[in-house]
Structure formats: structure tokens, C-alpha cells
Amino acid sequence: MEVVTTPAELRRRTAAWRRQGHRVGLVPTMGAIHAGHLSLCDRARAGCTRVVASIFINPLQFGTGEDLERYPRDPVADQERLRDAGVDCCFLPEPRAMYPRGFATRVSVERGTERWEGAVRPGHFAGVATVVAKLFVATGPCWAYFGDKDAQQAQMVARLAHDLDTGIRVVVCPTVREPDGLALSSRNRYLDPESRQAAPCLAQGLRAAVAAFAAGTRGAAALAEHVAAPVRDQPLAELEYAAIVHPRTFAPLRRADARSRALVAASIRGVRLLDTIILGAPAGL
């Protein structure tokens, strides 16, 4: 596996691959590589002939008081996991390579970002959009793979790719879960044993909403309450939001259909977790 550290190096590498007739896949990560990331690499390998995975903890998407400094970092182990997954190139830039002195640009996607994560974490989506735009420019036309767990972010990225005529196809892949339903996340490493036992309450709420929808419930408020109840009942959890939303605009709904999306965000002893599901999905979450 080749390792490159600047956008210019990555641009040269991917341009050479395309001249050779390869389809390039991109898997953006912030490191702390887990099975969810590796599933994206697998999808990229299946759909493309060359795969780039980036490891970059993006400071622009962390707000004041968030966990930038303690975010898990293990680049050696991460590179080993990516190499074992068949990744051809790891993009491992330093912040100064992505944001050199005098950097003064932000990218903002206005539609679909004003609620939920956009409201709870002001500036977060602009930080994500900016780094993703830079990754897209450096990689060039490719297929880019994102996880469904961060569904609002994935929809924003798809909008960015479309609106800026990037020539990039955004592929959203299913959430990978632990046997008890907990969605895989780099932040799961922060959970102490008691918190880890409590954390599946988010998935339990989503499972309850899917079951209620299958049983005939269509009112969004009632379905959202099914999502919220197991989180509220968990003493270690603090609910931030639970909602039933349109799958593309993320606007709150009054009445749900099979394509509607359930969202939930909560903190478990200060560890912030997200989860989501489409209501018409199979109930085996």
C-alpha cells in the first residue's frame, strides 16, 4: 500500500490510475479504523479497481469543547488494517497540508443541514463539507463511499458532489452493527463497560419504531416516541433528539411511509452516539 501525504501527491496518483483505465474508489475516514470502515473498503474494492482511503482528523468539524484532542489516533495500526483490506493508497495528510497558512475558504451546503446535527453542532457540516470538497478535488472523479449511520452527513455530501459537478458518485453503505445492535463508531472506544451495556438503547428505540410501523403506526410523533423511550429509560443516557424525517430533505414529518427515516442522537455518560434506520427496513436491526 502506498502512503501519500499531500493533496498534490494524491492528485498525481489518481490521475495516473485513471489514465491507465482504472476506476478509483475513495473511502474517507478520520482513522480509528473499525469493521464499519473496512466494510466500506470492501464495497470500494468490489466496485472499483483502485482504492484510496484517507485518514485525517478534520479540525474544522469539531466545535468548542468537543473531543478533537482526545479523538482516538493510531495511524500505524490503521494503516495495517487498511493494507490488509486491500487498499491501494492511504492518504495521510497533516493539518498544515490540508489547511496551509492563509486558508480562508469554507464550503456550505444549505439544504438539509439546518436541523438535527446542524442545529446541535453549529459549524459542523461546513467543516465536513470543506474537507470533503478538498478530498474530492484531490482525488478527482471517483466513487466515494460513506456509511448510512451518519445519514444526514451522507445526504449533504451527495448534494455537494451533485451541485459542484464533481463527477463523483457517492455510494451510501449499510450501517455495520455489533451483535446487540450498537452501530459501530470510532467513539465507541470511549465507552466504559457500564456505558457499553447502556449504548444499545439507541438501536432498541429504532427497532421499536420499525416494529410499530410494521404494525400499522403512521403518525410520526408516535413513532418518534418509540425511538425515544428506551433512551429516556436508560439512566446513563441523555437524549438529544429523536425524529421521523424525510429521507432526502431531513425535514420532520407528520405522517410516515416506508421510506421515512428515524433518527436518534444521545450521549451515554458524555459519549455522543448517533443512529438511524429507514422505517420500511427489516426489523432485524
Residues 6+ apart with CB under 8 A from 1: 79, 82, 83, 87, 88, 89, 90
**Residue 262: strand pairing partners:** 244, 277
CA angle 103–106–109, rounded 5-degree value: 165
Residue 167 C-alpha cell reads as 463527477
Task: State how far the alpha carbon of 95 is from the alpha carbons of 12, 71, 125, in Å.
Answer: 20, 15, 18
* Known active-site residue 37: yes
Q: Of 26, 28, 101, 27, which is closest to residue 61 (Cα–Cα)?
A: 28
Catalytic residue among 37, 162, 226, 246: 37
Confirm if 26 and 47 have CB atoms less than 8 A apart: no
What would the grid cell of residue 70 be?
A: 482526545
DSSP output for 2-13 = EEE-SHHHHHHH
> Rounded to the nearest 5 degrees, what angle is found at the Cα of 73, between the Cα atoms of 138 and 149?
70
The candidate with the shortest Cα–Cα distance to 273, out of 245, 220, 231, 224, is 231
Residue 168 CA to residue 24 CA, distance in Å, equals: 10
**Backbone region of residue 201 per phi and psi (left: phi > 0; alpha: psi in -120 to 50; beta: other values):** alpha
Q: Cite the active site residues.
A: 37
